[in-house]
Structure 1
């Protein structure tokens, strides 16, 4: 089974370079997506884990993702690098 790389903030799959955020040096981030991270900083640094859970839940519902998959993704958020210390 291959290891899928996901954003360590919102869990979006980073399977396409175009989805990767950028580090301060302009290189693509291997940890965060473009929706969460740009130029070496979080786009929304004040967001907390509970707010991120709501955002991810709402976005996945708009994409018509099944409820079980949404719940698994939301439940996985606290395990991601950005939220582990929260």
Structure 2
């Protein structure tokens, strides 16, 4: 994997690492490269809440992994970043232009 372009789970934003160990699984048991094993299992999402609820779950982990970051700072970063992840992505162009 290219270290300059790391893969992140497209649901929780967790770094996926250098191997497929953290990949989720599709319904047929194959690895899913877009979602981690904590968010996607046997072809289904394991978390059925909103993006905001996912941020509440993930922010403490991000803050714990970054000692100089508070949970509030983690939430702020996630509120900007999560809408760009595939699971939460919305088409902002169409929303802003009402097309």
TM-score range, shorter chain: 0.7 to 0.9
* Alignment partner, residue 69 of structure 2: 67
* Alignment partner, residue 35 of structure 2: 32
Q: 1:3 to 1:24 in 2, by over 3 A?
A: same
* Alignment partner, residue 94 of structure 2: none
Gaps (5+ residues) in structure 2? Answer: 92-99
Q: CA RMSD in A?
A: 2.3
Gaps (5+ residues) in structure 1? Answer: none
CA distance in 2 between counterparts of 1:66 and 1:77 reads 21
TM (norm. structure 1) is: 0.82
CA distance in 1 between counterparts of 2:59 and 2:68 reads 11
Aligned length: 84
State the 4+ residue runs in structure 1 displaced beyond 4 angstroms.
none
**Aligned-pair distance for 1:64?**
4.6
Compare relative contact order (CA 8 Å, sep 6+) and give the higher one, 1 or 2.
Answer: 1
Q: 1:40 to 1:76 in 2, by over 3 A?
A: same
* Alignment partner, residue 6 of structure 1: 8
